[in-house]
Amino acid sequence: MGTKIRVYLEFLLQRPSRPEIDKYKADLTVENRKLFDHLLLFCYFDLIQYTREKKLVSIGDFYLSCFGLFAIIVGLAGASYINHYLGLSMLWFINLALGLIAGGWAILIWRKHYFFASRPSLWKATIRSNLQRLHDNPEEFEATFRRFIMDFPEKSVPKWNKLIPKLIGR
């Protein structure tokens, strides 16, 4: 079983698209196809765990944070212009500015401990981590994988596996 898993992981390391996965699975026996489906799902859930462990975040979240900070700066400039144009009190502007600055600090503090990476590189890092775990201690990896197969309901595997290529950036 360890050799099969290694071969399947090396295939998944290439980030195959949905048609490539379907073509690859067509050549497998029914038992191996089920094993491959579970391994694909195992890798996806391991990706989630790996990103939490290593504090990795998708690069898209980084862009959203940058957009939030940009919106705060534009909000400050807009508030300054409106305050000057309408002749409002300085207290109104100071309250608005402090609120926007506090929002910016919250975004920066929330993001300061994270490393941003693209989804494909997160996927490759997860697969490499699984290959390393399989190489270091094959019995433990296979036992963990078998527990995952026992715990995950058979009916929902195909539903999840249809979504995974989209989630990993293919």
Regarding predicted confidence, which is higher, 122 or 22? 22
Split at pLDDT 50, 70, 90, the class of 111 is low
Q: Which range, 47-51, 85-89, 129-133, 148-152, is most confident?
A: 129-133
Which of 99, 120, 103, 119 minimizes the C-alpha distance to 111? 103
Q: Which range, 8-22, 81-95, 107-121, 145-159, is most confident?
A: 8-22
pLDDT of res. 146: 87
Mean pLDDT rounded to a whole number for the chain: 78
- Asked if residue 164 lies in contact with residue 44, where contact means CB atoms within 8 angstroms, the answer is yes
pLDDT tens per residue across span 48-95: 787 777 666 666 666 767 777 777 778 777 877 777 777 777 777 777
CA 141 to CA 135: how far, in whole Å? 9
CA 79 to CA 32: how far, in whole Å? 62
**Among 17-31, 79-93, 140-154, the least confident range:** 79-93
Hey, is 97 helix, strand or coil?
A: helix
